[in-house]
Amino acid sequence: MHLIRSYLLLPFVEAVEARGLDATAMLSAHGLKRPDLVEPHFRLPFTAFLAIQQQAADLVGDPCLGLKIGAEIRSEQVGSLGLLMATSRTLHEALTHFSRWGNAIGEGWALELTDTPEGADYIYRVDETGVPTRQDVEYSLANLCSLIRTRMGRNWAPVEVHLAHSNPSRARIYQGIFNAPVFFDQPVNKLVIARDDLLLRSERVSYALLPIVEAHLHLAADKAAADGDLLRQVSLIVAQSMGRRPAQIGDVAARLDMPVRSLQRALAQRQTSFRDIVRQERRRVAENLLAQGRINSITDIAISAGYADGSVFSRAFRTWTGGAPSRSPLRRKPG
Q: For the chain, which residues make up each domain, given as ranges?
A: 3-207, 220-327
CA distance 59 to 111: 29
For 213, left (φ over 0), alpha (ψ -120 to 50), or beta? alpha
**pLDDT higher than 90, residue 155:** yes
Q: What is the pTM of this model?
A: 0.66
DSSP for 188-240, written as a single string: SEEEEEEHHHHH-B-SS--TTHHHHHHHHHHHHHHHHHHHHHHHHHHHHHHHH
Q: Which residue type sits at 159?
A: V
CA distance 135 to 13: 13
Kindly report the CATH number that applies to the domain delimited by 3-207: 3.90.1520
Those residues whose C-beta lies under 8 Å from the C-beta of residue 10, and which sit 6 or more positions away, are 37, 38
For 295, left (φ over 0), alpha (ψ -120 to 50), or beta? beta
CA distance 9 to 335: 37
Kindly report the CATH number that applies to the domain delimited by 220-327: 1.10.10.60
Per DSSP, 130 falls in state S
DSSP for 2-34, written as a single string: -EEEGGGGHHHHHHHHHTT---HHHHHTTT--G
Task: Identify the band that residue 335 occupies on the pLDDT scale cut at 50, 70 and 90.
Answer: very low
- Which strands make up the sheet holding 189-194, listed edge to edge? 109-116, 119-126, 189-194, 160-162, 182-183
CA distance 242 to 206: 51
Per-residue pLDDT at 120: 94
H-helix or E-strand containing 161? strand 160-162
Condensed to tens digits (0 to 9), the pLDDT of residues 29-83 reads 888 888 888 877 777 888 889 999 999 999 999 999 999 999 988 766 666 666 7
The answer to whether 132 and 168 have CB atoms below 8 angstroms apart is no
Nearest to 93 by CA among 206, 214, 201: 201
Per-residue pLDDT at 297: 76
Q: What is the 3-state secondary structure (H, E, C) of 83-114?
A: HHHHCCCEHHHHHHHHHHHHHHHCCCEEEEEE
The answer to whether 143 and 53 have CB atoms below 8 angstroms apart is no
CA distance 280 to 86: 38
**pLDDT higher than 70, residue 332:** no
CA distance 90 to 95: 9
H-helix or E-strand containing 154? none
Task: Identify the band that residue 216 occupies on the pLDDT scale cut at 50, 70 and 90.
Answer: low
**pLDDT higher than 60, residue 227:** no
**Listed ranges 127-141, 239-253, 265-279; the one with the highest mean pLDDT:** 127-141
Those residues whose C-beta lies under 8 Å from the C-beta of residue 33, and which sit 6 or more positions away, are 27
The answer to whether 213 and 97 have CB atoms below 8 angstroms apart is no
Per-residue pLDDT at 243: 62
Condensed to tens digits (0 to 9), the pLDDT of residues 173-185 reads 999 999 999 999 8
CA atoms within 13 A on the CB side of 78: 23
**pLDDT higher than 50, residue 14:** yes
